Structure 1
């Protein structure tokens, strides 16, 4: 069932896909079809800062930085610190393949949360899924590092049909000390869609519900999974104008508003996290943040960025 909502500038959660570049290819799972040859897009660092400021004005409480692999963007560190200093909760979705010292400093901030995907407890299986030899060792090592540093970490295990593999991965993560682990199904978008055309059947039903996604091109989409439903660009207009436009209302009207209480569990994040579970008291607070009124950022300065590589 599809219900056409009115265009609205109400905003609580904004995903910023700051790059399409990634060290991994994930030929059968990547929702964004990212990879080593993809670009950082058309948005400059200043454009991302401006978008964050506009999101704050619209009432946003949380920003999510995604990609591709967001840490590969030359401006990742200052972009993230800009959001922290703006008083926002910041969720960073990283493959944890290559993490630098300044990244750990950022991840340790009290208003920052970290998320990643773990594909298998067996290195060869994990590496086959990511398309990069050594990715299992790197990601597993950085998961252990995050746990040892006391950094809140959400880990998704995507079940592409091999339930035993997924459950083995879940068990290993829990043994490593990761308490927030979710096994979710693969959505038929990006690489996982193969040659199929994008379809709203892959959407959970909470897209554009006080949330939006800005893509590397500046285009504003209903969510990162529904990237084929866009309605303008923050390179040509401010975020409020896009979210209050007739085009945005039309894009929202294409999202199936499901009445099944489990339909939104757990598909609003690329990690298949629990942020959209309508059965929770606060469906948009999956990571256990303090309320926006009490969450405070401790940082006062933006560290200099270190240009990352695809090592």
Structure 2
């Protein structure tokens, strides 16, 4: 069943101020630790553009302040600009979490909107090491060039580094980002989700930082509602069958929230519009080949 477009009248519930919309599983890259196992061959999922628009309307009506477009690579969805524009028209703050592998000229004006923030992932100061994580030759060069261009255009960029490879030059990668002018940088370990999950090991909420469901939620390409994109194996309903307000006020969501451990020392910042270590949640989240 497709969700309806008329926003519900309910007041904000469940204290959700940030909603991640994983609008596609498609990505130009195939990162070793990708939480959603994204790739160039992956699809946009079950959610239609109409469904995503309905969710954005519902989120705004529920008082969600920040809508984050994530993937996969969100800019690979043919309607991503429309979704961003809709959220902005409803007075929401929008974050676009992109690998910055490819930026079209018309994208820059949207990235530069003062109501929009831009996030990306970075792995090393050495091209060969960065590319070993993304499994895409040339990805370091393209991402770095687009970071530089964004900064030259006055666009603020936040970055996340996930420690994936043995001996990875994380500190050097961070120093390179700082030298470029980026001050908002989060470093995280790879979580056992998606390609980073250990074979034969059952998914566990122990991998979560403690902030899932606490101020944030996520909707996956299947329509599943989860505590964040990292807790994707523990859905609390589906927006293709039930309105967002009902799900957030329902027993399944309450039970999920109750099962999340207290906030850990390495938890994501409480005002983070994304998730634990933003670099975990673009196309990339380690499984070793």
What TM-score, normalized by structure 2, do the two folds share?
0.86
Q: Distance in 2 between matches of 1:180 and 1:9?
A: 28
Contact 2:121 2:278 in 1 (8 A): no
- Report the more deviating stretch, 60-69 or 243-252: 243-252
Contact 2:129 2:168 in 1 (8 A): no
CA spacing shift, 1:248–1:235, aligned 2, 3 Å:
same
Counting matched residue pairs gives 264
Query: Which runs of at least 4 in structure 1 moved beyond 6 Å after TM superposition?
Result: none
Match of 2:224 among 195, 219, 234: 219
CA spacing shift, 1:85–1:207, aligned 2, 3 Å:
same
Runs of 5+ consecutive residues of structure 1 not aligned to the other structure: 1-7, 275-311
Q: Distance in 1 between matches of 2:153 and 2:276?
A: 22
Is the aligned partner of 1:107 residue 2:122? no
Match of 1:24 among 13, 29, 32: 29
1:1-311 → structure 2 map (5 Å cutoff) = 8-27=13-32, 29-160=33-164, 162=166, 165-195=169-199, 196-258=201-263, 260=264, 262-265=265-268, 269-270=274-275, 272-273=277-278
Q: Which whole-Å deviations, capped at 9, do the CAs of 1:149-176 have from their partners, x for residues lacking one? A: 1111101111236466001101111111
SS of equivalent residue, structure 1 residue 170: helix
Q: Distance in 2 between matches of 1:181 and 1:169?
A: 10
State the shift of 1:9 in Å: 3.6
CA spacing shift, 1:113–1:157, aligned 2, 3 Å:
same
Q: Distance in 1 between matches of 2:252 and 2:229?
A: 18
Q: Distance in 2 between matches of 1:243 and 1:265?
A: 21
Q: Which whole-Å deviations, capped at 9, do the CAs of 1:57-96 have from their partners, x for residues lacking one? A: 1111101010000000011110111111111110111000
Q: Distance in 2 between matches of 1:256 and 1:53?
A: 31
Q: Distance in 1 between matches of 2:142 and 2:198?
A: 27
CA spacing shift, 1:161–1:25, aligned 2, 3 Å:
closer
SS of equivalent residue, structure 1 residue 101: coil
Runs of 5+ consecutive residues of structure 2 not aligned to the other structure: 1-12, 280-289
- Report the more deviating stretch, 161-170 or 200-209: 161-170
